Amino acid sequence: MPSVETLPIVVATLAFLLAGFVKGVIGLGLPTVSMGLLTLVMAPAKAASLLIVPSFVTNVWQLAAGPSFWRLARRLWPMLAGIILGTLAGTGLLTGSHAGQAAVALGLMLMLYAGLGLTSMRFSVAPAAEWWLGPLIGALTGLATAATGVFAIPAVPYLGALNLDKEDMIQALGLSFTASTIALAAALAAGGAFALGDVGISTAALAPAVLGMAVGGAMRSRFSERTFRRIFFGGLLVLGAHLASRAVI
């Protein structure tokens, strides 16, 4: 059996390996999976600081691999600005007394969206509404990020409602999550939960995350559009249930 000192290292390695694999397959899930598992052995704020470097590198990798960066950046910049402002406005929420309640709510929202996605029901956002809805979605996503360390809701449902194809969706997720990671790092630093010394520890978690993402990405390239959607929403359902159950326990 691992000792008390090595247990966090073992859990962190396995957490980032699994989280990277999930992210490679469906384009998201690294913060959700890693936060849920890491909080078994450490405080949420510490877990969030540990995921900064793996999240940043894997998301930059994800957004750089797609063909439409500048087009998506021009289209999504209002949402990205909202994410940054919302996250910074929520500085300190992750270590607050309501962090557990926020995690439960986030998990339930993920499950609800996944359930709708697995049915025939589809949402769509009109292009004319993106100029005002994007900043609102971004600000709400930022607040959720500051409270839980997870940046999926409501950004993921919003991006899904833009009717992007598979590769554009993956790249848009990478762009959104990169902005969220940078904003989360700034919020944690402002709240005293992320310092220069944490960068080295976070960097050590990069190797298993990248390995898992590479394996997952190789598998994703073999999937059809229909299969991808099933895995995407099925993954959201599992991740939401995991987050909610961990928060309740």
Nearest-angstrom CA–CA distance, 146 and 185: 10
Q: Is residue 144 part of a domain?
A: yes
% of the chain beyond a pLDDT of 70: 91
Q: Looking up tokens 């797609």, which residue turns up?
A: 66
By residue range, what is the domain housing residue 234?
Answer: 7-248
Read off the pLDDT band of 1 (50, 70, 90): very low
Q: Each residue of 182-230: pLDDT tens digit?
A: 999 999 998 888 887 788 889 999 999 999 989 988 887 776 767 777 8
What is the predicted pLDDT for the residue at 118? Answer: 82
Q: Each residue of 136-171: pLDDT tens digit?
A: 999 999 998 998 888 888 898 899 899 898 889 989
- SS3 per-residue string spanning the chain: CCCCCCHHHHHHHHHHHHHHHHHHHHCCCHHHHHHHHHCCCCCHHHHHHHCHHHHHHHHHHHHHCCCCHHHHHHHHHHHHHHHHHHHHHCCCHHHCCCHHHHHHHHHHHHHHHHHHHHCCCCCCCCHHHHHHHHHHHHHHHHHHHHHHCCCCCCHHHHHHCCCCCHHHHHHHHHHHHHHHHHHHHHHHHHCCCCCCHHHHHHHHCHHHHHHHHHHHHHHHCCCCHHHHHHHHHHHHHHHHHHHHHHHHC
* Backbone CA torsion sign across 116, 72, 180, 223: positive
Q: Is residue 1 part of a domain?
A: no
What is the predicted pLDDT for the residue at 96? Answer: 66
Q: Is residue 2 part of a domain?
A: no
pTM: 0.84
The more confident residue out of 231 and 158 is: 158
pLDDT value at 117 more than 80? no
- Give, in degrees to the nearest 5, the angle at Cα 128 between 153 and 163: 50
Q: Each residue of 10-46: pLDDT tens digit?
A: 888 999 998 888 888 877 788 888 887 887 778 788 8
Q: Each residue of 67-88: pLDDT tens digit?
A: 889 999 999 999 999 999 999 9
Q: How far is CA 242 from CA 119, 161, 166, 246, in A?
A: 21, 24, 25, 6
pLDDT value at 246 more than 70? no
Q: Is residue 82 part of a domain?
A: yes
Read off the pLDDT band of 60 (50, 70, 90): very high
- How many structural domains comprise the chain? 1
Nearest-angstrom CA–CA distance, 43 and 51: 13
